[in-house]
Amino acid sequence: MTSSDAPAITVRGLVKSFGEVKALAGVDLDVARGTILGLLGPNGAGKTTFVRVLTTLLRADGGTATVLGLDVVEDAAELREQIGLAGQYAAVDENLYGIENLVMVGRLYGMTRSEARARGNELLAAFDLEDAAKRTVKTYSGGMRRRLDLAAALVAKPPVLFLDEPTTGLDPRSRLSMWEVIENLVSEGTTVLLTTQYLEEADRLAETIVVIDHGLIIAEGTSDELKDRVGGERLEVRLEDGASFEDAVRALEPMAEDLPVCDGGLVTMNVRQRHGTIVEAVRRLSDAGVEVDDLALRRPTLDDVFLTLTGHAAEEPVGDEDEDRKVVV
Amino acid sequence: MSPRGLTRRAGVRGLLSDTLVIAERNLIRLPRAPELLLAFTVQPIMFLLLFRYVFGGAIATPGLAYVQFLIPGIIVQNIAFGGFVTALGLNEDVHKGLIDRFRSLPMARAAVLAGRTFSDIVTNTLSLVILLITGIIIGFSFNADVAHVIAGILLLLLFGYAFSWVFAFVGLIASTPESANSVAFIAIFPLTFISSAFVPVASMPAPLQDFARINPFTLTVNALRSLWLGLPAGNYVWGAVAWTIGITAVFAPLAVSRYRKQARS
């Protein structure tokens, strides 16, 4: 075991190919204890392959990966006692009741039947599944299945949790309740590695976001840092009909990082700093006698980040997901 | 939050208890799946009645009443097909991600397949009991001591276990549960008919007779008849045991290696 300030997950030079396709092309990554790391990327970026290697389901072609100091190959058996995995495929037995699923998983972790039952009931209560405890999972909604799947991953209170696209295909309400559950877990000290193709999800949940595309990490940082990389704030000024673009541009130019762009009554530009920008813009425009309809300062979204970094939008599928599985959206 | 500090269970004990957990999981679904339960109960009874009362009159079995001839045959056929639940179940587990969940747990690797095939023994016992009771109602009677009857039952369960591994392999290679079902059916169903299960081998055309004589179904059915009806045993029992061991020796390693690869790709 490593000391408590060592990263929970350490990955160096991880490589994995499927035939000609390089799913992982040399990934380095650290995840600090008690944090959520969001692995963000489109379908086929290598996210699922990465999770499968770290959870001992798949052997990498090269590189090393450890979880809590345990090597994914050498110490696979011990490592499995420390992790929980919940995936986009809601791997629960739909012929069993909710509680039976959790008892089964608990017993496979080595608990006695009564321990597993007690823990299962606790989790069902926490995840709002008590009423469905004695119904076959077949009758569950998509959101309920995901919650049960996550509950199954938590049966043994694993210190490290892998969530592979935990909300893919869920309706907005179920997604929101899933997010709350995940946030609670981390507040209790669990380390989470979460993959997602939803920028909003990474933005909300993850302290550190790692952007992955074609098996390579192309950016890493907090949500704010990534947005800063795209260029800080963006000022958008909508002019009144008949107002002069030229006057507006001339007035705002000193504040701009690059040349302001005009498009159908809308002037947009990157600005150097956020502080006082709106006040200054209003003053300059009014001094220049330019009439303004609306004026806003917009932070770039992670969509902007992704587009800038990869040249394609995040949620546009660029190929099959790892291991010939299709994402059901 | 801290790990539970569960102690790893010793190898064999861990394997046994994990196998039982998986077997239990396979079995509790049965009462909730009416179509599966029908396959175990009503279907074999229907077959039995059809053969006894529809075809039976037209099939000559010198020296034996047809019902005596038929019961061992139909029970062997039925027990061989008992493993199809394994094919369906494993196929579902692979495609629905449950195998991934199992593989990410600190459980004995072999327990998934061992638990599957073990639960087949339980369901096979169930259908064996149902067929025997029905058989006795329609006129079947043992002509042997208890030891021979029990030996016959053990042979049946072993034979069924061997076929569970065939079905496990089929379930792992098939792309859908439906195709697992049809592959198994197409491969095994004719085998059960070109045997001594339903008609005397001597009534078949010569080339079929040659095939039927070495068919594992013929040997096992004949072994069962000799054990239960006090007929001359010849080498049937040993032949049946040899087939059982042979089938297991080929298909268990095939299934295990397929399972390993499946989980790894």
- Is the model's pLDDT at A262 over the cut of 90? no
Residue A299 CB partners (closer than 8 Å, separation 6+): A227, A233, A234
B264: pLDDT confidence band, cut at 50, 70 and 90?
Answer: low
- Per the CB < 8 A criterion, the answer to whether A165 and A197 are in contact is yes
A328: pLDDT confidence band, cut at 50, 70 and 90?
Answer: very low
Q: What is the mean pLDDT of chain A?
A: 85
pLDDT score at A266: 85
A304 versus A235: which is more confidently predicted?
A: A235
* Inter-chain residue contact B1 with A188, CB threshold 8 Å: yes
Residues spanned by the domain of B150: 34-100+117-264
In the stretch 8-47 of chain B, residues with CB closer than 8 A to chain A read 8-9, 14, 17-18, 21, 24-25, 28-29, 32-33
Instruction: Report the pLDDT averaged over residues A21-40.
Output: 93
Share of chain A above pLDDT 90, in %: 43
User: How far is residue B263's CA from residue A173's CA, in Å, rounded to a whole number?
Assistant: 34
- Is the model's pLDDT at A222 over the cut of 80? yes
Residue B8 falls inside a structural domain: no
Closest of A47, A126, A45, A44 to residue A87, by C-alpha: A47
pLDDT score at A148: 93
Residue-wise pLDDT for A192-213, tens only, equals 999 988 888 888 999 899 999 8
B77: pLDDT confidence band, cut at 50, 70 and 90?
Answer: very high
* Inter-chain residue contact B4 with A55, CB threshold 8 Å: no
pLDDT score at A120: 96
Kindly report the pTM of this predicted structure.
Answer: 0.80
pLDDT score at A313: 61
CA Rg, chain B, in Å? 20
pLDDT score at B125: 92
For residue B173, report the phi and psi dihedrals to the nearest 5 degrees: -90, -20
CATH superfamily of A9-82+158-227: P-loop containing nucleotide triphosphate hydrolases (3.40.50.300)
Secondary structure (3-state) at A4? coil
Residue-wise pLDDT for A136-176, tens only, equals 999 999 889 989 999 999 999 999 999 999 888 788 888 88
User: How far is residue B227's CA from residue B146's CA, in Å, rounded to a whole number?
Assistant: 10
Interface test with B, best of A95, A96, A112, A137 (most B CBs within 10 A): A95
Q: B88: which chain A residues are within 8 Å (Cβ-Cβ)?
A: none
- C-alpha to C-alpha distances, A286 to A280, B45, B98, nearest whole angstrom: 10, 93, 65
Residue A151 in tokens: 């509950």
* Inter-chain residue contact A91 with B106, CB threshold 8 Å: no
pLDDT score at B209: 92
Residue B15 falls inside a structural domain: no
DSSP string, A188-244: TT-EEEEEES-HHHHHHH-SEEEEEETTEEEEEE-HHHHHHHT-SEEEEEEEPTT--
Residue A317 CB partners (closer than 8 Å, separation 6+): A42, A43, A44, A327
What's the CATH number of domain A233-298, 3.40.50.720, 3.20.20.100, 3.30.70.2470, 3.30.930.10? 3.30.70.2470
Residue B17 falls inside a structural domain: no
Q: A107: which chain B residues are within 8 Å (Cβ-Cβ)?
A: 17, 21
B166 versus B185: which is more confidently predicted?
A: B166
A327: pLDDT confidence band, cut at 50, 70 and 90?
Answer: very low
Instruction: Report the pLDDT averaged over residues A289-295.
Output: 88
Q: Which residue in chain A has the smallest CA separation from B6?
A: A110
Residue-wise pLDDT for A306-324, tens only, equals 777 776 665 544 443 333 3
pLDDT score at A246: 84
Distance from CA of B3 to the nearest CA of A (A): 5
Q: Which amino acid is at A125?
A: A
Residue-wise pLDDT for B100-138, tens only, equals 889 889 988 889 999 999 999 999 998 899 999 999 999
pLDDT score at B69: 93
Residue-wise pLDDT for A57-73, tens only, equals 889 999 999 999 999 99
pLDDT score at B120: 92
Q: Where in chain A is the domain with CATH 3.40.50.300?
A: 9-82+158-227
pLDDT score at B3: 43
- Is the model's pLDDT at B261 over the cut of 90? no
Partners of A71 in beta bridges = A66
Total of domains in chain B: 1
* Inter-chain residue contact A111 with B21, CB threshold 8 Å: no
Nearest to A85 among B8, B101, B263 (CB): B101
Q: Where in chain A is the domain with CATH 3.30.70.2470?
A: 233-298
Residue B25 falls inside a structural domain: no
A176 versus A262: which is more confidently predicted?
A: A176
pLDDT score at A326: 35
In the stretch 127-166 of chain A, residues with CB closer than 8 A to chain B read 136, 152, 156-159
Residue B45 falls inside a structural domain: yes
Closest of B19, B34, B87 to residue A95, by C-alpha: B34
Q: B97: which chain A residues are within 8 Å (Cβ-Cβ)?
A: 87, 89-91
- Is the model's pLDDT at B71 over the cut of 90? yes
